[in-house]
Amino acid sequence: MLRELQIAPDNAALCSVAAEEFHLAAESAIRNTGRFAVALAGGTTPRGVYTQLAERYKNLPWNKIHIFFGDERPVPPDHPESNYRMANDSLLSRVAIAAENVHRFRTELAPEAAAQDYENQLREFFHPAPGDLPRFDLVLLGLGDDGHTASLFPGTAALNESARLAVANWVEKLHTFRLTLTFPVLNHAANVIFLVSGAGKSAVLKEVLSASNQASFPSQRILPENGRLLWLIDQDAARLLAGEKLIF
Ligand code: 6PG
């Protein structure tokens, strides 16, 4: 595993770098395999990345790009909290990507059924060999202030899932299910990029990236066994890292 840290001056620069990383990963995957399979992050940080992709990368071969989601909330696709809606508003509705290239969690179904349905979608698209796993060309992830990523929250059952590709994960602190890809899939990706922006993330980022930290956060278990891991952060999020011995 190749592990990198890149600090951008501010959020706008972070979004530009992330958009260019998406572009380069897409070009490489399409050149090598004829298609690009990417799992998008939810939350708020990635919106600026998706907006830049819509505004500056309209000429990407979107017909060869397949969009998946690292996680989803159990709400309708047009709900304000839907990760699909955020991506659709900021990117998917603004580029020439066919509906069949967008593979969302079907949250019209009950959580467990939606998770099973998503696993079926993954298997149908990637056709992994028996015992093998889908390999995303790129996975974008965020970092929660409790150290979660995707919807792999501390103390939840999904952290122990070693066989399924996607699960409905009960998150007690949110008092709701969350749909999420599991560590096996995320750690099988070719390229994983964490997007971490803002001073509000500086404390958890210091803990997550500190070499001396004994605590274990779900985000620290993202270690693509045969891939590249890039922590893409901005100055505000990095403000407590000075002088800290990091895992890099
Ligand atoms: C979600 C995300 C979640 C997010 C982090 C960071 O559905 O909310 O998948 O893992 O990436 O909570 O969220 P922000 O980018 O909003 O800080």
Residue to mutate, 15, 40, 44, 233, ligand 1, most ligand atoms under 8 Å from C-beta = 44
240 part of a folded domain = no
pLDDT for 106 beyond 80: yes
Tokens of 68: 């998946």
* Protein residue with least CA distance to atom 11, ligand 1: 142
pLDDT for 214 beyond 80: no
The residues, ordered by sequence, that sit 6+ positions from 190 with a Cβ below 8 Å of its Cβ are: 25, 29, 135, 136, 137, 138, 224, 226, 227, 228
243 part of a folded domain = no
247 part of a folded domain = no
| N-term to C-term CA, the chain | 11
For residue 8, give the CATH number of its domain. Answer: 3.40.50.1360
Q: Could you report the per-residue pLDDT of 32-79, keeping only the tens digit for each?
A: 999 999 999 999 999 999 999 999 999 999 999 999 999 999 999 999
245 part of a folded domain = no
221 part of a folded domain = yes
Residue to mutate, 143, 152, 159, ligand 1, most ligand atoms under 8 Å from C-beta = 143
Beta pairing partners, 169: 178
95 part of a folded domain = yes
pLDDT mean over 214-237: 95
CA distance linking residue 179 with residue 14, whole number of Å? 27
CA distance linking residue 70 with residue 139, whole number of Å? 7
Domain of 60, in residue numbers: 2-234
Domain count for the chain: 1
Q: Tell how far the Cα of 202 is from the centroid of ligand 1, in angstroms.
A: 15
239 part of a folded domain = no
89 part of a folded domain = yes
* Closest ligand 1 atom to Cα of 152: 10
